[in-house]
Amino acid sequence: MTLAERVRALPRRWPGFESIRGIPILLRLLPSVSRRQSALLGVGVLLTAALPVAAVALTGLLVGSIPDAVRGGLDSAAGHRTLDLLVAVGALVVAQRLVAPMLRAVSMTLGRETDRYLQDRVLAAVGRPGGIAHLEDPDILAHVRLVKGLGADAQRPGLAVEGLGYVLPSWLQALGSAVVLLFFSWWIGLLWLVVWPIVVFAMQQEYLRVGEIGYGRSDALRRAEYLRDVALGPAAGKEIRVWGMLGWLIDAFERAWYTAMAPVWKVRSPRGSVLFGASGAVLAVNAVSYGLLGWAAARGDLSVAAVAIYTQALAGVNSYTAFDDRNVYLSYAAVTVPKVLALDARLGGSGGYSAPVSAAPVSGDRVSGGRVSGGPVSVAELPRPAAAPGLPRHGVRFDGVTFRYPRSERTALCGLDLTIPAGRSLAIVGENGAGKTSLVKLLCGLYAPTRGRLLVDGNDLADLDPAAWRDQVAVLFQDFARYHLPVRDNIGLGAPAYAHDEDRLRLAARKAGVLHLVESLPHGFDTVLSREYTGGVDLSGGQWQRIALARAMFAVQAGARLLILDEPTAALDVRAEAELYERFLELTEGLTTCLISHRFSTVRRADRIVVLADGGVVEDGSHEGLMDLGGRYAEMFTLQASRFLDEQPARSAGGHRLPSDTSTGATGEGMGTHA
């Protein structure tokens, strides 16, 4: 083991070194944040440390030169020397005055820049894995919570940079002063050289311990913060009021908060024993030092100049700080920076994210090195990616695919064999929890199969470049996102590279049947879709769903060949659903389409329908074929159609316009008739 490796191993062997380790890690990081500011910080620290030590020496010489100057007069050589020394001491004092605010400004700026840099780095890291398994990993989420607070949280590493600008010069000044004291008494100098680093080390360890305990509560605090955000946010606002949930939420929040914070409060201050031990040691060494200096001066062993120098050196050696807020800030470097960098590395470039697997592997899984081989890993981490333009040309095949979510005991898909031919539409139906959405997530490459393969034109999806494959996929998720952004972004984000293309935006909006709505908004495509912003509007659930469909259609126009629609009509009214149903062939023309729906009126338009149950295909065929089969599909279809038909007379009598009255004639009645 080399010396460098031994030093690196120290933190593991002796946890106390963690505290000190954070500082060099932070220092190494700073040039990446800003070379210029880091250089200025370095110069500022050195000057702030060196100027007082130089002032100590020059003041001593000045005091020593005064008797000769008094004897010889100001015109004598001794007088000139005294004047020169006076000017030099004055210059040093002025320089100290100038450097101090400069250092403060630089360290504050660099601190803020460091927070921004780390925030950017983690945002990029969290977005890096091709899959989404890491977004459900409590350990990763606990780290991510830290990042959310980087700009505002009390433990932000930027404060550690500010702390460095204050603490480092004081440490260096103490070091320099201790060296000066070596000339007075080697053992007094040595005592200081040993005592102050020990005191600093002990206190840093204490601050770190408190910080680590606070950090360790991240998961528990996340729960409390969730409850708080539910209470404050608009998402649950309606239900909170209707059901009178606020009191319950406040109680639950307080309980979660106190449970999370109680261990932190218990140890929020450094232990008394360490605090009194450290300050007691400093007091004792001071007593010995000043006592010895006074005794030597009284005995006449020291010149006036020497007394002046050593007195100031003793003041200098006491100027190091170990107990104030800036020292507490330093521990933030050790608490947060290595964790942020570790998160970046864990989600990072070469290795990618490896989701933990659940305790019980699926039977038959090959286990190697603590991980189930072929387990739910990010597709991004798989080697030798190949390009994917124009795929699929022949089709996508689930080849014996078993899938289980990370940390889950249940298999969502179980030995699934299914082919989706290129250029055709396939509808997937099945009861809640049958595995339909899980299948979509695998198709998008958001998870990889636990076992089996997903083949695109015969090639394992795992061997394709994940980003290039996703360019081929346009998807409307069941739980699509509602971005509080202008309409143009809500649609254009389907293919950000083309988001500026007005013609494509309009075409996508038209295809999704939402162009008229967009044009009627106060600022058209520039209207922000959120009432939380001035001039913004909110949309109904169905309008939102059509905006999300427009996003998928925008991706299709940008070149995506595989269109996935997961419950595309769930929030649509009868007319809108009927319109979509009519235009289904137009929307899906030339595309490989995978449609998931509980609405059989939409499903029956697909070329082929499969019924999923217990993670596998149980029926497969055309609408007519499956109806003739009289199995699950026929049962579900008939149930839905008959329920609608039962309702029809009542609604007719009430004067409502029936779906069958619509110009398109689609939906339930049609289903009944065809059935």
Ligand X SMILES: Nc1ncnc2c1ncn2[C@@H]1O[C@H](COP(=O)(O)OP(=O)(O)OP(=O)(O)O)[C@@H](O)[C@H]1O
Chain residues binding ligand X by CB under 6 A are 136, 405, 408, 410, 412, 430, 432-438, 478
Cβ–Cβ contacts within 10 Å for residue 409, how many? 10
In the bound complex, what is the minimum distance in angstroms from residue 570's beta carbon to ligand X? 10
For ligand X, the closer of residues 217 and 608 by Cβ is 608
User: What end-to-end distance do the CA atoms of the chain give, in Å?
Assistant: 78
Cβ–Cβ contacts within 10 Å for residue 298, how many? 9
Q: d(Cα 519, Cα 514) in Å, to the nearest integer? A: 9
For ligand X, the closer of residues 133 and 147 by Cβ is 133
In the bound complex, what is the minimum distance in angstroms from residue 614's beta carbon to ligand X? 10
For ligand X, the closer of residues 322 and 440 by Cβ is 440
In the bound complex, what is the minimum distance in angstroms from residue 435's beta carbon to ligand X? 4
User: Tokens 């997903």 map to which residue?
Assistant: 454
In the bound complex, what is the minimum distance in angstroms from residue 616's beta carbon to ligand X? 12
Q: d(Cα 150, Cα 114) in Å, to the nearest integer? A: 9
Strands (E), 393-496: 395-404, 411-421, 425-430, 451-456, 459-460, 473-476
The answer to whether the Cα torsion of 128, 131, 132, 134 is positive or negative is: negative
State the helix-helix crossing angle for 77-127 and 157-184, rounded to 10 degrees: 150
Q: d(Cα 487, Cα 522) in Å, to the nearest integer? A: 11
**Bridge partners for 564 per DSSP:** 475, 594
For ligand X, the closer of residues 575 and 632 by Cβ is 632
User: Tokens 């991980």 map to which residue?
Assistant: 371
Q: How far is CA 420 from CA 456, 594, 599, in A?
A: 10, 8, 20
In the bound complex, what is the minimum distance in angstroms from residue 612's beta carbon to ligand X? 7
In the bound complex, what is the minimum distance in angstroms from residue 136's beta carbon to ligand X? 6
For ligand X, the closer of residues 217 and 436 by Cβ is 436
For ligand X, the closer of residues 410 and 643 by Cβ is 410
Burial class (CB in 10 A: 0-12, 13-18, 19+), 661: exposed
The alpha-helical segments, DSSP class H, found in 472-573 are 487-492, 502-511, 515-520, 541-557
For ligand X, the closer of residues 196 and 633 by Cβ is 633
In the bound complex, what is the minimum distance in angstroms from residue 417's beta carbon to ligand X? 17
Cβ–Cβ contacts within 10 Å for residue 229, how many? 12
In the bound complex, what is the minimum distance in angstroms from residue 357's beta carbon to ligand X? 12
Under 8 Å between Cβ of 601 and 675: no
Spatial CA neighbour of 424 closest among 665, 267, 591: 591
The 3-state secondary structure of 337-379, one letter per residue: HHHHHHHHHHCCCCCCCCCCCCCCCCCCCCEECCEECCCCCCH
- Asked if the bond preceding 392 is cis, omega within 30° of 0, the reply is yes
Using DSSP, state whether 121 is helix, strand or coil. helix
For ligand X, the closer of residues 270 and 435 by Cβ is 435
For ligand X, the closer of residues 2 and 432 by Cβ is 432
In the bound complex, what is the minimum distance in angstroms from residue 664's beta carbon to ligand X? 26
For ligand X, the closer of residues 115 and 137 by Cβ is 137
Under 8 Å between Cβ of 334 and 211: yes
In the bound complex, what is the minimum distance in angstroms from residue 120's beta carbon to ligand X? 28
In the bound complex, what is the minimum distance in angstroms from residue 133's beta carbon to ligand X? 9
For ligand X, the closer of residues 161 and 412 by Cβ is 412
In the bound complex, what is the minimum distance in angstroms from residue 424's beta carbon to ligand X? 21
Spatial CA neighbour of 388 closest among 661, 159, 592, 647: 592
For ligand X, the closer of residues 406 and 486 by Cβ is 406
In the bound complex, what is the minimum distance in angstroms from residue 276's beta carbon to ligand X? 51
Q: d(Cα 341, Cα 334) in Å, to the nearest integer? A: 11
Buried b (16+ CB within 10 A) or exposed e, 513-522: bbbebbeebe
Question: Which two tokens mark 589?
Answer: 């023309």
For ligand X, the closer of residues 133 and 199 by Cβ is 133
Under 8 Å between Cβ of 596 and 565: yes
